[in-house]
Structure 1
Amino acid sequence: MALVGIYDGISARLKASGEYVWPLALRLIMFWEFWESGLVKLRGENWFQHIPTNDWVKGFPFPVSVMPNDFNWFFATWGELVFSVMVLLGLFTRVSAFGLIIFTAVATSAVHWPADWSSLGELWNGYAISVKDGAGNYKLPLLFVLMLLPLVFHGGGKLSLDRVLLKLTGRADRAADTIGDLAAAGLALLVIGLPTVMVEEVWGITLLVLAAACLAMPLLRNRS
């Protein structure tokens, strides 16, 4: 029992320190990746008119595909720069991290995702850094999304401007609030479904329909 107590004590302390460490670590690395990407665009020339760059690439998803390339370039450049700084500061972290997920989903469809695949096994061949036989190379953007999702669901952590705003508005006690209901499931499906629809429409629409159902059911129950 003494060992169990020691383990529980270590776990509790790691959990407490983790509220500071892991969100900040994710924010720092995500800031740098997207800030650097935004700077490259800011200092470079617009190459969006060349998308799709290869026969195997899916290309821009709708509605980005029908927007002017100059607008897309401007929006991508400044979106990455602004959202990355917000993530670094932990300011409206959930919104800024989700914005970067959307940018990543668009980029994945545009230059990383294969236009045609016949099985999940074939699609999995695209989980790579370098393209091989036109199978795609979506490994890096997928990892970025997986690193941003905790910031969407958990927030920026204790070392963030979001936490300062909570204290300034007298809502510091709400930081640990959790509500596990159908609406929570609907929001989770919405967060995952919106970027997914940019890459694979059928998958994304399915998730969005499920999200709508989860969000609507509590409202329908309240009316009945």
Structure 2
Amino acid sequence: MNSIIHLYAGLTGLLNQAGSYLGLLGLRLLLAWEFWESGVEKFNGDNWFADIYSAFPFPFNLVPVDISWFMSTWFELIGAIALVIGLGTRFFSLSLIILTIVAWASVHAGNGYNVCDNGFKLPLMYLVMFMPLLLSGPGKLSLDHWLARRFMAH
């Protein structure tokens, strides 16, 4: 019995060590892909924010449509790159959380939960996935971690 406990403790230690490097990387990469695709679609497409502008929550409804479109596009593109490399992870997580909440309120609200009905399932999933990145950071396999060790360890 003691050897089983020792084996379990050893495996748990290895998984914890691997998780500190790889655990949050998967979330970062998945979210980066989703927001990159959305940003590229906006970059190559027409500004459709004017069609939903009246549904933007305060204070976002005070920002001109063209500026909102520009900011959304570039936060999605730059934020996706930042998530991949783990740079400014908390800042971009918070920025993309805000963007997701605005999208939920203006596009997905009132459509129910189902993705097929353009419901709020995906925005909810994105928000839940962003929470560990916002609260815990990007993990050890990131530029944020390297920079913190390099410049804040003194």
1:143 corresponds to 2:118 = no
Superposed, 1:170-181 pairs within 5 Å as 170-171=152-153
CA displacement at 1:27 relative to structure 2: 1.1
Q: Which residue of 2 aligns with 1:23?
A: 24
Give the structure with the higher percent helix: 2
Superposed, 1:21-100 pairs within 5 Å as 21-51=22-52, 59-100=55-96
Higher relative contact order (CA 8 A, sep 6+): 2
Aligned partner of residue 46 in structure 1, secondary structure: coil
- For 2:152 and 2:66, the matched residues in 1 are separated by 43
CA displacement at 1:167 relative to structure 2: 2.3
Q: Which has the larger radius of gyration?
A: 1
Q: Which residue of 2 aligns with 1:102?
A: 98
Q: Which residue of 1 aligns with 2:13?
A: 12
| Consecutive aligned runs of 4 or more in structure 1 exceeding 6 Å deviation | none
* Pair 47,170 (structure 1): closer, same or farther in 2 beyond 3 Å: closer
Identity, in percent, stands at 42
CA displacement at 1:170 relative to structure 2: 4.3
Superposed, 1:109-128 pairs within 5 Å as 109-114=105-110, 126-128=112-114
CA displacement at 1:126 relative to structure 2: 2.0
Any gaps of 5 or more consecutive residues in structure 1? 53-57, 115-124, 173-224
Any gaps of 5 or more consecutive residues in structure 2? none
- For 2:152 and 2:79, the matched residues in 1 are separated by 26
- For 1:71 and 1:94, the matched residues in 2 are separated by 23
- For 1:160 and 1:171, the matched residues in 2 are separated by 16
- For 1:151 and 1:171, the matched residues in 2 are separated by 21
- For 1:73 and 1:34, the matched residues in 2 are separated by 14
Aligned positions, number:
153
CA displacement at 1:22 relative to structure 2: 1.6
**Coordinate RMSD, CA, aligned:** 1.8
- Measured against aligned partners, the alpha-carbon deviations of 1:122-163 in whole angstroms (never above 9, x if no partner) come to xxx8222122xxxx7100111011111111111111110011
Q: TM-score, normalised by structure 2?
A: 0.92
